[in-house]
Amino acid sequence: MTTLTAQFERRREPKLFGALALMAFGWGVWLASPNTGHGADMGDWKLSPYKVHVAFALDDLARPEPTLAGAIAKNINERVEALLVPLWQFELVEAADPPTRRQCLHMEEIAWDKLPTELKSFDKLLWLGVESRPAGFVLTCREFDIYTHRWGPPHQQVVQQASFLPEAAFHLLLQAFSPIAMVEPLPNDDKHVRLVFRGSKLPKQTTDDALVTPGELLRPLLRRTDRSGKLAANGIVEVPYTYLVTAAPKEEGWLADVYTGTRRPFAAERRARIDQIAVAERMAPGPTDVRFHARIDKKQGLANYQVFLLQEDGTEKQLGLTDRDGVISVPPGPKPISTIMLRSDAQLLAKAPIPAGAPAAIEIPVADSLARLRAQAEAQVVREQLVDVVARRNLMMARIKALLKKGKGKDAADLMEQLDALPSASVFNRNIDIAAKRIPAGKDPSVQKSIDRLFTNTRELLGKFLNNRPIIDLQNEVNAASRGG
């Protein structure tokens, strides 16, 4: 998962707090860099069609069927003409040269500088391959988006009969095609945005949107251009830990729900030469691997941590524990996005939206370290000792008062000496100081702050449960009884 490396800011309501709150420093620098150009014009955007180039190839076993390639090409062209013109300016070619045939059948990622110059004039490049198998045919399609320089995941479909191939090929093209939208934040609403898809104002063949449906998962990006309007070097940055899901059409666009682990994923105002866009994530439903690791050391996976799934009714369901590398598999849910929470000793460490079917493990840095865990263990020992002393103290005080009522002042005085021998608040404070010195200073400021707060809260318990005033009052009663005897 590509993310911008930067510092984060903690939010009151914990959402990936610590390492996964808003990347305040680096994110702000990236957004606020001085520039004088202009982002995409919204009017032109709504009237801009996609220039789509599709290359397709049949493997050697499928090629001997003389009419197969022609039937596939004819059906795709007819379906595009009927459904997608003028939104698509379309070109379909059968691969003739070996490199293009190989790309159609193997779908390797090609570096930008290795792409043929003539292909860079398009907006979308798609490769479609048909391979013959004993059980039928396997169709594979993959997209490269010129606007964002991003490869989509390969899409596959198995077809048993050759007569079904033309229609299946067209539908696979639609599955692999990822529409692009401009993101418009809504005033006073941080849970929704408006998506304006490219070409949304062009005439449509039908009343339905041929490319977008409710429940569509999109990944928001920031796209930065140079002064000439071309994509700048490192000009595509993913909005961290944020996803959008289309809800309903809205004013030449779509209303989308925002799922985020950051405080303000979108800028309220557009910035020159920086566009807030979103690209459809056409991933097959399935489990997603999530790896939690220490923010200060990516190699340090957080093993044996509890992971919970936030359900629609607000309750939590435990998914299990992270493995030795800090990885857990998140199963697909009823929606494209699931929200999970990482906990340790009932403490919430991270809360993150997870898409279903991500092809690679999602890496989540967490403001955690062995130092915090050691501090937790030390504080827990002190608290257990405190519970024991408080229980013994209350029991002994009750017995002393009972003895005083019975007029047994000497027995009460003897028990009072045992009560005085119990560890006092000053002894516990000294033990806490010793424990704190055994913990190495945290390299992560947020972790060190958590450690300090842990010991501070423990000290506050001492003042609450080991108050000396009741002991002093009881000693005065015992002394008075002894003088009276």
Q: What is the pLDDT of residues 247-268, one digit of tens each?
A: 999 877 899 999 998 888 888 7
Do 55 and 162 have their domain in common? yes
Q: What is the pLDDT of residues 430-446, one digit of tens each?
A: 888 888 887 776 666 76
Confidence of residue 10 (pLDDT cuts 50, 70, 90): very low
Q: Which two tokens stand for residue 375?
A: 């501090």
Do 219 and 320 have their domain in common? no
Q: Does residue 39 fall inside a structural domain?
A: no
Q: Among residues of the chain, what percentage have pLDDT more than 90?
A: 48
Say if residue 36's pLDDT is above 50.
no
Do 50 and 172 have their domain in common? yes
6-10, 136-140, 481-485: which has the minimum mean pLDDT? 6-10
Q: Does residue 89 fall inside a structural domain?
A: yes
Residue type present at position 436: A
Do 56 and 28 have their domain in common? no
DSSP assigned state of 138: E
Helical axes 409-420 vs 370-405, angle rounded to 10°: 170
Distance of CA 160 to the CA centre of its chain: 38
- pLDDT: which is higher, 126 or 422: 126
Give the distance between the most distant pair of CA atoms in the chain: 119
Confidence of residue 368 (pLDDT cuts 50, 70, 90): low
Q: Does residue 411 fall inside a structural domain?
A: yes
92-101, 439-448, 451-460: which has the minimum mean pLDDT? 439-448
Rounded to a whole number of angstroms, the CA Rg of the chain reads: 32
Q: Among residues of the chain, what percentage have pLDDT more than 70?
A: 88
The pLDDT of residue 25 is 33
Among 124-128, 161-165, 414-418, name the most confident range. Answer: 124-128
Confidence of residue 35 (pLDDT cuts 50, 70, 90): very low
Confidence of residue 43 (pLDDT cuts 50, 70, 90): confident
**End position of a domain, from candidates 138, 155, 176:** 176
Among 99-108, 347-356, 418-427, name the most confident range. Answer: 99-108
Residue type present at position 331: P
Nearest-CA neighbor of 175 among 122, 115, 126, 123? 126
Which pairing describes strands 124-133 and 150-151: parallel, antiparallel, or unpaired? unpaired
Q: What is the pLDDT of residues 175-213, one digit of tens each?
A: 999 999 999 999 889 899 999 999 999 998 887 888 999
Task: Please report, for the domain that includes residue 319, its CATH number.
Answer: 2.60.40.10
Do 158 and 244 have their domain in common? no
DSSP assigned state of 226: -
Say if residue 327's pLDDT is above 90.
yes
Helices (H), 52-114: 68-83, 98-106
The pLDDT of residue 62 is 67
State the pTM of this model. 0.71
Mean pLDDT (whole number) for 73-80: 96
The pLDDT of residue 320 is 93
DSSP assigned state of 113: G
Say if residue 24's pLDDT is above 60.
no
- Write out the E strands in 62-123: 88-94
The pLDDT of residue 1 is 34
Do 166 and 205 have their domain in common? no
The pLDDT of residue 3 is 31
Q: What is the pLDDT of residues 116-154, one digit of tens each?
A: 999 999 999 999 999 988 888 999 999 999 999 999 999
Specify the number of domains making up the chain. 4
Q: Does residue 236 fall inside a structural domain?
A: yes
Q: Does residue 408 fall inside a structural domain?
A: yes
Say if residue 4's pLDDT is above 60.
no
Task: Please report, for the domain that includes residue 80, its CATH number.
Answer: 3.40.50
Q: Does residue 386 fall inside a structural domain?
A: yes
Do 151 and 217 have their domain in common? no
Q: Does residue 13 fall inside a structural domain?
A: no
**End position of a domain, from candidates 153, 176, 199:** 176
The pLDDT of residue 268 is 73
Q: Does residue 2 fall inside a structural domain?
A: no
Its domain, for residue 374, covers 370-484
Say if residue 385's pLDDT is above 50.
yes
The pLDDT of residue 18 is 39
Q: Contact, 138 vs 175, CB < 8 A?
A: no
Do 243 and 161 have their domain in common? no
* Mean pLDDT value across the chain: 85
Do 62 and 157 have their domain in common? yes
In angstroms, rounded to a whole number, what is the distance separating the alpha carbons of residues 196 and 253? 4
The pLDDT of residue 7 is 27
The pLDDT of residue 244 is 97
Do 163 and 78 have their domain in common? yes
Do 157 and 56 have their domain in common? yes
**End position of a domain, from candidates 313, 331, 366:** 366
Do 167 and 186 have their domain in common? no
